[in-house]
């Protein structure tokens, strides 16, 4: 899927853009990504807040997923994409959700 087909809607909000995607998460709503003025993508801490217990139990596996997709977890467990590639970032978020049990609920 190209990045163009992945984006449902853009919402410009001051110094960042909220990207509502056509990709869905485990509860079947759109995956939302935030992009700052430099192009850096993040999840605003959504996955950690949704799967905190499972995240802590699976931190080693999550670290491997982050490394594989060239992403990292920053302050407050916000996930960032080093590469600024929306498709790859969505793949990373989906893989972490899978590791945390989101698709097996």
pTM, whole model, 2 decimals? 0.90
State whether residue 10 is helix, strand or coil: strand
- The domain tally of the chain equals 1
Walking along the chain (105 residues) 10 residues at a time, the average pLDDT comes out as 80 95 88 94 94 92 97 96 93 94 64
Residue 27, pLDDT score: 80
Q: Is residue 104 part of a domain?
A: no
pLDDT of residue 5: 87
C-alpha separations of 43 from 11, 51, 87 in Å: 15, 13, 13
Specify whether the CB–CB gap between 17 and 10 falls below 8 A: yes
Say how far apart CA 61 and CA 94 lie, in whole Å: 13
Q: Which domain holds residue 17?
A: 3-99
Specify if 76 maps to a domain: yes
37 within a domain of the structure (yes/no): yes
The beta-carbon contacts of 47-50 under 8 Å, at least 24 apart in sequence, are: 47/77, 47/79, 47/93, 47/96, 47/97, 47/100, 48/73, 48/76, 48/77, 48/78, 48/79, 50/97, 50/100, 50/102
pLDDT value for 60: 95
Q: What is the pLDDT of residue 28?
A: 82
């Amino acid at each position: 899927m190209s990045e163009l087909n992945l984006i449902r809607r853009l919402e410009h909000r001051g110094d960042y853009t909220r990207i509502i995607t056509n990709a869905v998460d485990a509860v079947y709503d759109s995956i939302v990504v935030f992009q700052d003025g430099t192009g850096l993508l993040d999840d605003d801490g959504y996955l950690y807040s949704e799967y905190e217990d499972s995240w802590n139990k699976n931190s080693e596996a999550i670290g491997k997923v982050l490394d594989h997709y060239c992403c990292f977890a920053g302050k407050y467990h916000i996930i960032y994409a080093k590469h600024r590639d929306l498709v790859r970032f969505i793949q990373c978020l989906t893989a972490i959700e899978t590791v945390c049990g989101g698709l097996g609920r």
